Amino acid sequence: MQYRTLGGTGLNISEVGFGSWAIGGPSRLGELEIGWGEVDDEVSIRSLHAALDAGINFFDTADVYGNGHSEEVIGKAFAGKRDQVIIASKVGNRTLPNGEWKKDFSPEWVREAVDHSLRRLQTDTIDLYQLHSASDPADYSDEVFAALEEIKQAGKIRFYGVSVGPTEHGPRLIRQGKGDTIQVVYNILGREPEDELLGLAEQENVGIIARVPLASGFLTGKYDENTTFPENDHRQRRYPPERIRELVGEVGKLAFLTADTDKTLAQASLQYCLSHPAVSCVIPGAKTPEQVRDNAAASDGVLLTAEEAEKVRTSVLGDACNYGPTIRRDR
């Protein structure tokens, strides 16, 4: 496993981390399914341990994953091993008592929510606390960042950042000097961060965490045009049949990345993201120890060459926006 410094934080993190959304299990925000299907907590814990054994030390979760269950599983898995891991969590998605979903970035809720996360994670300090995918730039108020600084001074968090929704929020936040890190969707099929965000982050020494680096699993190469997802998997609503066919067609153009090599498409896809010097870490999800070990093997010290990366860009449509209804064709 190779390690990189997370921007100006000084944190030395594994370049392949562990995205912990899926291990939260099925869950809803209001009427919206946000899980990844059924999980087995014991398998999840074995997966977390396998990650640590493989050299992964960065674990990213959120209070909304499984309505807090992902944090609970991480807390249980690393009880007695807290000094060996770097934990990131997020705040901002809230289910109200009446069952409604609310984006809540108020200082009051952030102060309350961090205590809930600390309890579930069985820790006194969260290494990185992130605002979770606001859709309105007004949610990134001076007041909420003042609250984050207050929480940091109290010792409850070490650093704070933003997991952006729209990519364009990232450059704006960097220019405003808000936060230590930016987490963003970045993968071979969604290359919008390359337009401005990554270069600016590198210039300003802001750590970049690449989420959804395997494009919701499509860049594993295991899906075909007949793939369907269960009702309790959020991909069921996000990927209608015509979109699945489109994405599978794009993925099929990447065969050259694994030709005459023993690496998987998933590993090559992670290496594509890591080839950009602004990226500190990729956080693919995993449900099993086997998936964890396959992801970790991408960090072998050999990244895509500049020629390979350029061939990716010329072969595959960019900005396939993992959560949008269609692939953009205007670029």
Specify whether the backbone of 55 is left (phi greater than 0), alpha (psi in -120 to 50) or beta.
left
DSSP string, 65-85: GGGGHHHHHHHHHTTT-GGG-
Rounded alpha-carbon distances, angstroms, from residue 278 to 8, 42, 59, 217: 12, 35, 19, 23
140 part of the active site: no
At residue 33's C-alpha, the angle toward residues 30 and 39, to 5°, is: 125
Q: Are 122 and 91 in contact (CB under 8 A)?
A: no
Q: List Cβ neighbours of 138 (8 Å cut-off, separation of 6 or more).
A: none
Catalytic residue from among 3, 65, 140, 160: 65
Q: What are phi and psi of 115, to 5 degrees?
A: -65, -40
- What are the catalytic residues? 65
